[in-house]
Amino acid sequence: MSYQVLARKWRPRTFAELVGQSHVVRPLVNALERDRLHHAFLFTGTRGVGKTTIARILAKSLNCETGVTSQPCGKCSACVEVDEGRFIDLLEVDAASRTKVDDTRELLENVQYAPTRGRYKVYLIDEVHMLSGHSFNALLKTLEEPPPHVKFLLATTDPQKLPVTVLSRCLQFSLKRLSPDEIAAQLEKILEAETIAHDRDSIRLLARAADGSMRDGLSLLDQAIAFGGGQLNEADVRAMLGTIDQDAIDRVLSALSAGEARELLAVVRDVADHGIDCTGLLDEMLMALHRIALLQADPSLVAEDEAERLRPHAAAIGPEDVQLYYQIGLLGCRDLPLATDPRTGVEMTLLRMLAFRPAPASAGPERSQAGEGGRNTRADLARAPATAPSVSSATRPSPSTPAESPVVATTGDWAAIVEALGLAGLVRELANNTAPETLSNEMVSLVLDESCGQFLSKDREASLKQALDRHFGQSVRLSIRVGKPPAETPAQQRARSRDERQQAAVEAINSDPNVRALREKFNARVNPDTIKPAGTARQS
Amino acid at 3: Y
Contacts (Cβ under 8 Å, ≥6 apart) of 391:
407
pLDDT at position 398 is 40
What is residue 441's predicted lDDT score, i.e. its pLDDT?
Answer: 81
pLDDT of residue 406: 38
pLDDT reading at 397 higher than 50: no
Boundaries of CATH 3.30.300.150 in the chain? 411-488
69 in helix, strand or coil?
A: coil
- Residue 111 near residue 93 (C-beta atoms within 8 A): no
Percent of the chain with pLDDT over 70: 88
Mean pLDDT lowest among 77-91, 134-148, 154-168, 416-430:
134-148
Residues 201-240: pLDDT tens digits? 899 889 988 888 999 999 999 999 999 888 888 888 888 8
Instruction: Label residue 440 left, alpha or beta by phi (over 0 means left) and psi (-120 to 50 means alpha).
Output: beta
Q: Which pLDDT band holds residue 360 (cuts at 50, 70, 90)?
A: low
Indicate the pLDDT class of residue 328, thresholds 50, 70 and 90: very high
233 phi and psi angles, rounded to 5 deg: -145, 155
User: For residue 47, which of 126, 151, 160, 123 has the smallest C-alpha distance?
Assistant: 126
What is the model's pLDDT at position 233? 87
Q: Which CATH class is domain 6-174?
A: alpha beta
CB 85 within 8 A of CB 115: no
pLDDT at 386 over 60: no
DSSP E strands in 95-144: the ranges are 121-126
pTM over 0.75: no
Long-range pairs of 229-236 with CB within 8 A, sequence gap ≥ 24: 230/196, 230/197, 231/196, 231/197, 231/198, 232/191, 232/196, 232/197, 232/198, 232/199, 232/202, 232/203, 233/198, 233/199, 233/202, 234/199, 234/201, 234/202, 234/205, 236/202
- Position 534 scores a pLDDT of 66
- Residue 99 has a pLDDT of 66
Q: Show contacts of 394-403: CB within 8 Å, 24+ apart.
A: 396/441, 396/471, 396/472, 396/473, 397/473, 398/473, 399/470, 399/473, 399/474, 401/473, 402/361, 402/362, 403/361, 403/362, 403/441, 403/473, 403/474
For residue 371, the model assigns a pLDDT of 36
Residues of the chain with CATH 1.10.8.60: 180-241
pLDDT at 535: 57
- The residue-averaged pLDDT of 289-307 equals 88
Q: List the single range of 312-316, 359-363, 432-436 with lowest mean pLDDT.
A: 359-363
Q: What is the pLDDT of residues 182-206, one digit of tens each?
A: 999 999 999 999 999 998 889 988 9
Tell me the pLDDT tens digit for each residue of 511-540: 878 777 777 777 777 777 677 776 554 443
Contact 213, 178 (CB under 8 A): yes
In the chain, which segments carry CATH 3.40.50.300? 6-174
Is it true that domain 411-488 has CATH number 3.30.300.150?
yes
Task: Look over the chain and give the mean of its residue pLDDT values, rounded to a whole number.
Answer: 82
Is 180-241 CATH 3.40.50.720?
no
User: What does the pLDDT read at residue 412?
Assistant: 46
How do residues 236-256 score in pLDDT, each as one tens digit? 888 888 777 788 888 899 999
Question: Region 169-177: what's the mean pLDDT?
Answer: 91
CATH code at 246-356: 1.20.272.10
Distance CA 483, CA 373 (A): 44
Q: Are strands 443-449 and 150-156 parallel, antiparallel or unpaired?
A: unpaired
